[in-house]
Amino acid sequence: MGYEKTLKLEHRGMRAMLPEVKRNAGADLDVRDFFPSGNDVLDRWRLRRFREYQSYGFPVWRRVGLTSFEPPRVEGYRGLENIDEEGLALLEELDFEGSDRKFVLMADVFSMAGEYVVVSSPQEKVVVEVDQDVANSLLDLRGGDLTLVRIVRRERFVGNLRVKVREKARFKLVNLHLVGKGGTSIDNVFLDVETGASVEVYDFYSGGRVNVGFLAVRFSGEDATAKVRPYYAVSSGSATDVLYQMRFYGRRNEGTVDSKGVVTGESKVVFRGVLDILPGAKDTVAHQRNHTFLISGSAKAEAIPSLFVGENDVVASHAHSSSPLDETAVFYLMTRGCSETEARELLIKGTFEDLREELRNFELEAVLDHALEGLV
């Protein structure tokens, strides 16, 4: 079974050739790092993926300055050890390429944290702090309403999260990446959304030297909605490269990506948005929007939007922009008694106000405030 490609450049039997990713043949995990899970069915699946894993080197990502990757130290297996045949079939169904296949496979084979969970309770809220460098989770949401707050507070991180949101289920994900200074984080999230389901995502990136994020929504059914709100606070010379993909298979689905963030100092953000409306996905509504506030003259923002439309009756748009803080707003706040520094701080923090409001439900605003310290 093939996996969901990040870019599927095919049209009426024609296929675009993509340039090959440059790869690095440095130190890598090997068979000595393969620890049995205690679940033979799972381990056979892991071994197959391990063989594929070995066939790739680590990608060289020049845009974020990642030319080599030091693999994490693996000390055992934890993650999907309780999975059954049904769960494995779902794993296959939710197989994907992510930001790079190598890292998706790494988390599949060598995870040290994660779980396989089937959820069908009417309403549940869960806060999970990922406590290992490599994590792999699979959620099968069979109904009801689940809110998952996932906190990644690591020096180094490679992770997968796959979620099947079945018919009419509701799923909210609050995904917080708080990477330690100098660290590298690579997170791949794949959501499959069935008929009538709804998804809401708050995805926050801060810290680290290199932060790479991938989040895909696959609309496999009809009449579903997904609202994705990415946020990023990039400082201290770090680079963040995020890709948000929505692929529409069925009819009358509605997906929006509405992103904003702040970049300071010598830092950089690369924002990629892919909206892919396949033939047959009639009456799709798909929008992506991104705005970056550049707080210093040397801060950089690069936007790479892609809109693939293979169906006539759709509404689709993308808009990307960057600007310094609005000096008129700074002055306005100063005429209300704020010093210039306070005014800028209010505006920068204001960029994340909707996220803070969401975190207030879990008394986690301090986590965000801490991450934003020193941005001004």
H or E element that contains 118: strand 116-119
Whether 279 contacts 248, CB under 8 Å: no
One residue of 50, 77, 204, 352 binding other proteins per CB under 8 A: 352
One residue of 65, 265, 305, 350 binding other proteins per CB under 8 A: 350
Whether 344 contacts 330, CB under 8 Å: yes
Asked whether position 92 contacts other proteins by CB under 8 A, the answer is no
Nearer to other proteins, 82 or 339 (CB): 339
Asked whether position 346 contacts other proteins by CB under 8 A, the answer is yes
* Strands 285-294 and 254-263, sheet pairing: parallel
Q: Is 40 helix (H, G, I), strand (E, B) or coil?
A: helix
Asked whether position 335 contacts other proteins by CB under 8 A, the answer is yes
Asked whether position 30 contacts other proteins by CB under 8 A, the answer is no
Residues facing residue 254 across a β-bridge = 225, 285
Asked whether position 332 contacts other proteins by CB under 8 A, the answer is yes
Q: Which of 130, 183, 139 is nearest to 159 (CA)?
A: 130
One residue of 309, 318, 329, 365 binding other proteins per CB under 8 A: 329
Q: Which of 189, 105, 103, 122 is nearest to 152 (CA)?
A: 189
Asked whether position 74 contacts other proteins by CB under 8 A, the answer is no
Cβ at position 234, least distance to other proteins in Å: 17
Residue 108 one-letter amino acid: D
Total binding residues toward other proteins, as defined by CB under 8 A: 22
Asked whether position 204 contacts other proteins by CB under 8 A, the answer is no
Q: What is the DSSP letter of 66?
A: B
Asked whether position 353 contacts other proteins by CB under 8 A, the answer is yes
Cβ at position 298, least distance to other proteins in Å: 23
Cβ at position 150, least distance to other proteins in Å: 24
Asked whether position 376 contacts other proteins by CB under 8 A, the answer is no
Asked whether position 347 contacts other proteins by CB under 8 A, the answer is yes
Backbone angles phi, psi at 159, to 5 degrees: -145, 155
Nearer to other proteins, 133 or 203 (CB): 203
H or E element that contains 106: helix 101-110
Tokens representing residue 124 in the block = 């549940």
- CA 38/CA 85 separation, integer angstroms: 15
Evaluate the CA torsion angle 173, 132, 61, 302 in order and state its sign: positive
Residues facing residue 75 across a β-bridge = none
Nearer to other proteins, 135 or 263 (CB): 263
Asked whether position 340 contacts other proteins by CB under 8 A, the answer is yes
* Binding window for other proteins (CB under 8 A); candidates: 167-175, 250-258, 275-283, 333-341: 333-341
Residues at the contact surface with other proteins, assessed by CB under 8 A: 326, 328-329, 331-340, 342, 346-347, 349-354
